[in-house]
Structure 1
Amino acid sequence: MTAIRKHPLVAFFVLTYVIGWGFLPFGSFGAFAPLVAALVVVPIAQGRAGLAELGRRLVRWRVRWWWWVLAIGVPLAVHLVAAGLGDPSPIRSVAWGDVLLVLLIRLVDPTDGPLGEEPGWRGFALPGMQARLSPLAATAVLAVVVTVWHLPLVFLEGGDHRSTLAGMIIGTVGVTFWYSWLFDRTGGSVLLCIVAHAVEGAIQDDTVLYFTVWLLLAVVLVVADRRRWLGRAPAAATTSLPGVGVLR
């Protein structure tokens, strides 16, 4: 308990890895680990105030309407761009009724990526890191942590491991920057990140080309908005609670 209070971010990352990877011997993966880790660490390290702050981020829906359009439209646009570049994406012949059903399930399923990951990565870890680091530095560190955490999925899914591994690394880094940008630009809305994450995964596309488009989008976001990336994150996207700092 004392260690968690002194080093909440380290405790969160360790617990996320332990829970997520703890299912590997059984041929599975704990995608809900970041959510569980946050729900364990936050009340111990930050008490009720921390839980209240996390809760506000989870239900922060009152943002400009165009952020909702971007949260839904950008992932779809990435699919379309990849398909236009020659990616054999399922978006060419997708059954939109099935996509909508998958999207709705992903929005409410805590064992899946959107609801299982975003409250931890964006709701807890990113604000704590941005309290001491620039958004660019915090996101770069988080991208490494999130990417390594996802790597076992490559070997669970089978197939061409080298190709899948390359796509996993490129894509995870790219979407991490996208989610951070969306989170900061919406004043710390985890809800918008959950929606964007759910839309991104509602259409399965694991090709390297598709993931490369995400990485290129991340580069565009950093270059076009570099002052914000190198400055301070908005107050709502950081935490002023005690006990939270860079990997403390």
Structure 2
Amino acid sequence: MSSTVSWVRQHRLTSFFVLAYVVSWTPWAFDAAGMSLGTPFFPGGPLVAALVVIPLADGRRGFRELGSRLIRWRVGWIWYVVALGLPVLMVLLTGVVASWLGATAPDLSSVLWADVALVLALRMVDPADSALGEEPGFRGYALPHLQDRLSPLAAAGVLGLLAAGWHLPLVALGNLGWIGIPSTVVITVLYVWVFNRTGGSLLLALLFHASQGAFTSGMVGSGSADEERAASVYFAVLVVAVAAVVVLDRPAWRSAPPSAVGSEPDAAPEPAGAGH
């Protein structure tokens, strides 16, 4: 057991990503074998992986760091506007451009905004949903440790590729169009920007993810021609948004703030069950 703990401590990121993939992909394997577990893909894999790796690799300190990021709400009102409003702005821009290209123009008068608000709220508290299922692991745990070793932009690239790979079963199942894979890589840069600019606030990353999911639901699916056109336009909008934040906010990419970086990898963890 001690050798396992020692290995996880020395390879915490590898342990986290392998476990996140295994937990989320296992239902897919059972489904392919004709033995359904009720869902073909479990979005809460990164959350489960973080909750397993933290006590082994980081102990109580790791839980304190994750918890403090989750309740880090004093970040300035403008970042709440960014986290909630940027996804909406990108969706609206996508709808306008897609309509110029021949897609059916979105009918905002038919949108049930109370339902959208309910979906957004539920995504914040449902661990089986991608917002709460992903963010504590990908942004709350993995990103700070990646930024121990890499620049914010390089960390965004690595995390984006690994998060995109984690979504592959959804493409195979038809729940996500192929454009969703590069879109995941690109939008990770925005997540890292919001996370770092709010001093490592996991709460704001959760809000951003919940808003994105509530307003883009079905957009990157593999359904109608209109949906596929909108998904391609959305990808282009993401690229423009990422280019804007990288070029216009260059200081954000030089180094991550100390509050958005994890503990030193070789630091001895305090046991999860230890007292003060």
- TM-score normalized by the length of structure 1: 0.91
Mapped pair 1:224 → 2:248: yes
- How far, CA to CA, are the matches of 1:240 and 1:45 in structure 2? 11
Mapped pair 1:238 → 2:261: yes
Contact 1:16–1:33 under 8 Å retained in 2:
yes
1:29 corresponds in structure 2 to 41
Q: Deviations over 1:176-219 (max 9, x none)?
A: 11110000000000000101100111121212212321222112
Structure 2 residue matching 1:28: 3-state secondary structure = coil
Note the aligned Cα RMSD (angstroms).
1.7
State the Cα distance separating 1:151 from its structure 2 match. Answer: 1.5
Match of 2:73 among 55, 61, 66: 61
Contact 1:174–1:216 under 8 Å retained in 2:
no
Q: 1:243 to 1:13 in 2, by over 3 A?
A: farther
Q: Deviations over 1:96-124 (max 9, x none)?
A: 12111111111110110111100011111
Mapped pair 1:142 → 2:159: yes
Q: 1:151 to 1:91 in 2, by over 3 A?
A: farther
1:80 corresponds in structure 2 to 92
Contact 1:46–1:243 under 8 Å retained in 2:
no
Contact 2:197–2:252 under 8 Å retained in 1:
no
Q: Deviations over 1:67-106 (max 9, x none)?
A: 0111111000001100110255756342112111111111
- How far, CA to CA, are the matches of 1:140 and 1:198 in structure 2? 22
Q: One-letter code of the match for 1:20?
A: S
The count of corresponding residues between Structure 1 and Structure 2 is 238
- How far, CA to CA, are the matches of 2:105 and 2:127 in structure 1? 27
State the Cα distance separating 1:141 from its structure 2 match. Answer: 0.7
Q: Deviations over 1:10-37 (max 9, x none)?
A: 1001101111111113261111011110
Structure 1 residues without counterparts, runs of 5 or longer: none
- Sequence identity percentage: 47
Larger RCO, structure (CA 8 Å, separation 6 or more): 1
Contact 1:79–1:89 under 8 Å retained in 2:
no
Q: One-letter code of the match for 2:169?
A: P
2:35 corresponds in structure 1 to none
Match of 1:213 among 233, 237, 248: 237
Q: One-letter code of the match for 1:184?
A: N
Structure 1 residue matching 2:98: 3-state secondary structure = coil
Mapped pair 1:130 → 2:147: yes
Q: 1:23 to 1:89 in 2, by over 3 A?
A: farther
State the Cα distance separating 1:53 from its structure 2 match. Answer: 0.6
